[in-house]
Amino acid sequence: MTEAIRFGVIGGSGVYSIDALRDVQETVIDTPFGKPSDAFITGTLEGVRVAFLPRHGRGHRITPTELNSRANIYGFKSLGVQYLVSVTAVGSLREDYAPLDIVIPDQLFDRTRNRERDYTFFGEGLVAHVGFADPFCNDMNAILFQAAQKSGARVHKGGTLVVIEGPMFSTRAESSINRRLGCDLVGMTAIPEAKLAREAEMGYSAIAMVTDYDVWHESHDVVTAEMVVQNLLQNAETGKSILTTALPIAAAHLHDCVCLHALQNAIVTSPERVPEHTRKKLELLVGKYL
């Protein structure tokens, strides 16, 4: 019997593979929402079964707005994933969150605007209002922070990640306003990813790798793609080290959390009123509740 894959990793810019994976296989998944970013890479990391997906596809072919996040999250769900860790590049909006630091954020602020991003699995006759007050999994966050400390990285616990549309970086005015709003980090992909993971009843957490000071910092160079990539290459190995330490701890200690029951009281549509095509489309997510 194949061991269940309870843990998933979605890698952002600079993290397209995990070298420490053993017994590697590629799995191509088609979903009711289209194709994910790439084939899922499954394997064993320090004795833990893991599914990995390069968020932007191998070769970095897909912009943040073009990502089919519904297909990506649905694909992880179909593999049995309960806890999903995002490895993501971010800019810092705080002096003390310096480039090459690691942050385990605990809040999100959505400033995306392109309606091409699909923010929910629901609709088409099925309505659910899912709680999202705490968008990251507190249990997994604690384990990631512990693992990051062991890695020797300079790591910060907590912070608000503002998600912008991209792919262009912020203007100075936008960067300054995001700072005044109380945001600590800026990225482009955690929304709608975190929302969809919550609807799919997954615990979602992020290893945020600081690459730059965005454009607010007067004495820091203006952010460029080259700068981001150079710092990512240094940070990527730290991110992988954190995963190698964190996942065995998570496998031993994470067996249940509130994230895994997010739909329990969220569906408001009467079961008999759900259209059959919608019921079939979302069977993987809502079958146990309808």
Tell me the catalytic residues. 212, 214
Its sign, for the CA torsion 159, 163, 166, 169, is: negative
CB 200 within 8 A of CB 261: no
Alpha-carbon distance values, 175 to 10, 106, 134, 165, 195 (Å): 26, 20, 24, 13, 24
What's the angle, vertex CA 225, arms to CA 219 and CA 228, rounded to 5? Answer: 65
Number of neighbours of residue 283 by Cβ within 10 angstroms? 12
- Kindly state the DSSP code that residue 259 receives in the 8-state scheme: G
DSSP E strand boundaries for the chain: 7-11, 22-27, 40-45, 48-54, 83-92, 102-104, 107-111, 155-157, 160-164, 185-187, 203-212
Strands 155-157 and 107-111: unpaired
Q: What distance in Å separates the CA atoms of residue 63 and residue 189, rounded to the nearest whole number?
A: 9
Q: Quote the distance between the C-alpha of residue 265 and its chain's center.
A: 24
Is residue 1 packed enough to be buried (19+ CB in 10 Å), middle (13-18) or exposed (0-12)?
Answer: exposed
194 Ramachandran zone, left/alpha/beta (phi>0; psi -120 to 50)? alpha
